[in-house]
Structure 1
């Protein structure tokens, strides 16, 4: 679950997670420490009774937690709140804290993989220059994902091309610019996304809509 909006704190999130896992059989949950709902997501997963190895959990290190030691601590806090033994995918939420913090944070992510606390690591909201900076550090573990805002009005061709070249998967958030993901009807609709084909002529129209419209958190130029 995750489309660029975050579920609220409290029983609402617990129930939505439980319902989505049990009834609709969602298996990917995308959250972040900034959303403040990791604890409720953990409760919902436990209530579902579904084993952890059957659910893929993504969470993120927020700006104020970046830095080597603070990233380690933030990850441990997320593990505690989610009540899981490991995180499937841990991302740096944004590049905004600056070069030194970005590099330290990614070094911490690699350490968390070595410790077994995290399975895969990546980044979010990274522009090409941030990715180049990261790769210049010769990381032992290449980021598997760059989670960025992508939709017809912000197609991010340069970033996508760079990621493809370096075998980094682009994961889009806000693919429809904005949307509510706690509505049961919308959750059902989301899982039916593969039930149609966009014709080539329509794709050409969509490709020409780009206006760098930013609906969520955009990368900055630090």
Structure 2
């Protein structure tokens, strides 16, 4: 009887051991399957993120290139506008040269002691500048622009300040004209110069209050 009980207990123990081993293997297999599924899902997610990052980088690079192209086009357009504006006004821009009579000096040598007989034998001579007349000389220059086809030029008052000076206007064509100052304003630092002739290129005057 005891042998049977021992044998039965042994069978039950072995059955339990086999059941535990089977359950353990099933749990491990299930865990491995879940791990594989998680890794596969992670790989898919990583691939999606990498693809998204690649697409974003490509889009960003394209946007940067487009922005640079636009900036270059804007800069080129501004340069072209500036060049066009300069070309349009250049024929009406003039130079104004101020000329006046200045002393003409000559160097002579004199005895610093005058006619004192005591010093005559020393032969001392010093240079002295003496005026021997006057000469016409260009003393300054500035710019202006024609606003009327019959020869009216707007410039700054400090360009034509001297009422005793002579003013020569150099045109863009290379011609020279004598300019006559017809109006000056020290307050606005503006002046109007008139030259003879007609048909000159002009710059139209605008209204600064109309600018936005």
Q: Place the TM-score, normalised by the shorter chain, in its bin.
A: under 0.3
TM-score (norm 1): 0.19
Relative to total residues, which structure has the larger strand share, 1 or 2? 2
TM-score (norm 2): 0.20
**Which has more radius of gyration?**
2
Q: Which has the higher contact order (CA 8 A, sep 6+)?
A: 1
